[in-house]
Structure 1
Amino acid sequence: MGEPIRVLHVVTYMGRGGLETMIMNYYRNIDRNKVQFDFLTHRDERWDYDDEIEALGGKIYHLPRLNPFSPKYLKALDNFFKDHKEYRIVHCHQDCMSGIVLKYAKKNGVPFTIAHSHSSNQNKNLKYIIKLIAKRSIPKYADYLFACGTEAGRWMFNTDNFTVLNNAIDTKKYIYNEERALDMRRKLGIEDKFVIGHVGRFRHEKNHSFIIDIFREVCKKEPNSNLFLVGDGPLEEEIKKKVYDLKLEDKVKFLGSRNDVYDLMQAMDVFILPSLYEGIPMTMIESQASGLNCIISDKVPKECIVTDNVKCISLDESNSYWAEEIIKSKNTIRKNLYNEIQDAKLDINSNAIWLQKFYLNNMAKGDLAWQNSQYLHQHTIEHIY
């Protein structure tokens, strides 16, 4: 057997966020004798998945922070692709800024480029207008457009000409098991608690401040409640201060970035996601696979709802209303939802096979032949199933 083809994934860093976890799910389940992943990152420090990437045979390269106005950054980007002619497939996960990276990949002869959208909006900060302008260049430099869901693809690419690559999971890890759940609750010291869970980085779009407001109302009605916040991020200290100011520090558990989310979900009673916007959140697939009741905002794409366990609530509803709906989940009997996740085509095994074929066929057939193939570039939104 010859050497595997090496696909370069371009990311900000490989921390334990949604898009990074999605890439790792594919990386772990692809045949690495045929396809290997390498990573071009935009941070110097090491992150959560770096050790695993290197153990799986991947290489990690570092560039300065992505800044389209920085001559230093653009020169470093240009030099990288000049120095690494071995990459024939570049898969870019830089959302609105993907066109910047792919422009230099194309300039240096990379034949196959992919822009991958993971979000259906962006924070309305000072960079927002720049991002809206930057994303217009993506179709010019990307041979293929991928998105985690329909809303994310339409928002990023302003077209229906893209392919949905599922945010798939290793379903068996998440399936609810009562004995395992009781064991986790014992280990966490929460045998008699009503546990509300949230998994997500502490960023604006995840709406953590609202989560704390809701939880405060829950505690008025159910004093024996705990809130698990899994993740890290730039707003973590701000949220910790709010929890302290509201005297909820004994009830809110900041669990940090974890590699055992599937075990933590066994111990939860309900999962909440009152986001301001999302792509297709990986945590929604995971929590449904775990048999959890999920209470989500009306800003989370409906595409992620694949079981009957999900209640969607407007962000305009009161904190008290959200709390009442959450409390209704108390004492719900958890079910094994393996078949539902399989039927929704969200298990990683079949999805990894598809992506592997996509990479290999691109290499084997050439650009023109592949563009005319059955997989991509139909003039409608195309899911991989």
Structure 2
Amino acid sequence: MNILHIAPSVRIGGVGSLLAGLLPRLDRERFRCEVLAEADPAGPGANRRALEAAGIPVRPIPPRVGNLRENLRAVDAALCAGSYDAVHLHLEEWSALYALLARRRGVPARIVHAHLAGVRLPFRFTARRLARPAALALLRGFMRREATHRAACSADAGRWLFGDAPFTTLPNAVDTARFGFSADVRRRTRAALGLGEAFTVGCAARFDQQKNLPFLLALFAELRRREPDALLLLAGDGEEGPALRAEAGRLGIAGAVRFLGAREDVPALLQAMDAFALPTRYEGFGIALLEAQAAGLPCFAPDGAVPREAAVTGLLRLLPPGLSAAGWAGEILAAKGLPRRCRAEEVEAAGCGAETAARRLEALYERCRAERGRGL
């Protein structure tokens, strides 16, 4: 079965990490995958290398934002050149357009996969905020007609994208062998970063409006008032990077915040942290929270913005919506000194290990194959 995945990118985090973790684990005698994704300006990263090392081609396409026509032309050309039994689409509501292209090019199975829930735009995106419900309703109409199968990483994500249409839940997953806690890795990584004995809060995320990192800086400033030697590690990059650095300076915490850039050693960085905080505005599931829980980290995220399915261990604390920065700081400091141990087995037991997720994905593809045989 030939399957074409179309994704926004294969960078570290999100859909890129999910594909890199799952596709190499599929039975390649039965399922032959390819990936179309926007090119990473920084060049091929770890996820692309992992996919290509497993024999899964990753082909760049023009970015969709600001260049939709060229993006669609590139996808259409790939559909014409290939012979695909299925397309697996990871582009939220925009997947409707690619499903339409795939149907016109004779692809029988068209899977739309929801990865986000409850998307909220900040005030400065007023025009987009007003236009989004109408656009979403229009694209949902396309999806009802063009998608043959619907999948979602959580119930919240499925309801957000598909409304009352049926969908299959495919919980996000991580390679727990890479993220399980190691005291030795923790010692070496903390020494390399010069953390000493400082209480260290961390976050690995894109620097964009979704992740709400200005609030993370604000809560860390509150935390520093009570724990003056505390440090904050921020692994990631994005459009808000310069503004975040400026905000750290304005809050007087620039010397205590380590901007580490986009990193491929996130598993080791998680070992070095003492707590993981993600004050995100919305998530479909939150792969970063799975990774942090596997590493045995106390985790903090907003209730309602993160689905409760993400709490696969007792380590994830979902804090009340609207809790102040000082309230967050108090919750995080309450976790100081908790004994650290590997929680990878708990993540696996919750069905969020990569091998289990790969078998679920194979079952979905087998269903597509069987239904195609009945004239899908």
Task: Provide the TM-score with structure 2 as the length reference.
Answer: 0.90
Q: Partner residue of 1:219?
A: 224
Instruction: Give 1:69 deviation, angstroms.
Output: 9.4
Q: Partner residue of 1:206?
A: 211
Instruction: Give 1:100 deviation, angstroms.
Output: 0.4
Q: Partner residue of 2:302?
A: 297
Q: Partner residue of 2:64?
A: 66
Pairing partner for 2:106 from 94, 103, 109 = 109
* Cα pair distance change 1:184/1:105, threshold 3 Å: same
Map 1:304-315 onto structure 2 (within 5 A).
Answer: 304-315=310-321
Deviations 1:253-294 (A, max 9, x none): 111222221111111101111111111000111111111111
Q: Which amino acid aligns with 1:229?
A: L
Deviations 1:207-246 (A, max 9, x none): 1000000000111110111101111111111111111222
Deviations 1:77-129 (A, max 9, x none): 43332232x11110000101000011000011001110000000334334452
- Asked if 1:143 corresponds to 2:148, the answer is yes
* Cα pair distance change 1:341/1:72, threshold 3 Å: closer
Q: Partner residue of 2:17?
A: 21
CA distance in 1, matches of 2:57, 2:184: 40
Pairing partner for 2:241 from 236, 261, 264 = 236
CA distance in 2, matches of 1:181, 1:77: 43
Q: Partner residue of 1:118?
A: 115
SS of match in other structure, 2:270: helix
Kept after mapping to 2: 8 A contact 1:97/1:135: no
Q: Partner residue of 1:92?
A: 89
CA distance in 1, matches of 2:68, 2:8: 16
* Cα pair distance change 1:192/1:44, threshold 3 Å: closer
- Asked if 1:197 corresponds to 2:202, the answer is yes
CA distance in 1, matches of 2:345, 2:53: 32
Deviations 1:322-343 (A, max 9, x none): 1111111111111332332122
CA distance in 2, matches of 1:70, 1:13: 15
Q: Which amino acid aligns with 2:56?
A: G
Instruction: Give 1:39 deviation, angstroms.
Output: 1.3
Structure 2, unaligned runs of 5 or more: none
Structure 1 residue runs of 4+, over 6 Å off? none
SS of match in other structure, 1:227: strand
Map 1:146-185 onto structure 2 (within 5 A).
Answer: 146-159=151-164, 161-185=166-190
Deviations 1:313-372 (A, max 9, x none): 124222111111111111111133233212211111122123234324533x3426498x
* Cα pair distance change 1:136/1:66, threshold 3 Å: farther
Kept after mapping to 1: 8 A contact 2:6/2:88: yes
SS of match in other structure, 1:250: helix
CA distance in 2, matches of 1:150, 1:68: 31
Map 1:237-276 onto structure 2 (within 5 A).
Answer: 237-276=242-281
CA distance in 2, matches of 1:220, 1:276: 25
SS of match in other structure, 1:161: coil
User: Could you tell which deviates more after superposition, 270-279 or 314-323?
Assistant: 314-323
Kept after mapping to 2: 8 A contact 1:265/1:287: yes
CA distance in 2, matches of 1:238, 1:20: 25
SS of match in other structure, 2:110: strand
Q: Partner residue of 1:378?
A: none
Kept after mapping to 2: 8 A contact 1:149/1:165: yes
CA distance in 1, matches of 2:270, 2:11: 20
CA distance in 2, matches of 1:301, 1:70: 31
Percent of aligned pairs sharing the same letter: 29
* Cα pair distance change 1:342/1:63, threshold 3 Å: closer
CA distance in 1, matches of 2:115, 2:31: 22
Kept after mapping to 1: 8 A contact 2:6/2:90: yes
Instruction: Give 1:43 deviation, angstroms.
Output: 4.2
CA distance in 1, matches of 2:63, 2:250: 35
Q: Partner residue of 1:353?
A: 359
Structure 1, unaligned runs of 5 or more: 372-385
- Asked if 1:80 corresponds to 2:92, the answer is no
* Cα pair distance change 1:356/1:97, threshold 3 Å: same
Aligned length: 365
- Asked if 1:32 corresponds to 2:28, the answer is yes
* Cα pair distance change 1:242/1:107, threshold 3 Å: same
Q: Which amino acid aligns with 2:77?
A: N
- Asked if 1:188 corresponds to 2:188, the answer is no
Task: Provide the TM-score with structure 1 as the length reference.
Answer: 0.88
* Cα pair distance change 1:28/1:255, threshold 3 Å: farther
Instruction: Give 1:188 deviation, angstroms.
Output: 1.6
Kept after mapping to 2: 8 A contact 1:68/1:100: no
CA distance in 1, matches of 2:74, 2:354: 35
Kept after mapping to 2: 8 A contact 1:115/1:146: yes
CA distance in 2, matches of 1:252, 1:69: 36
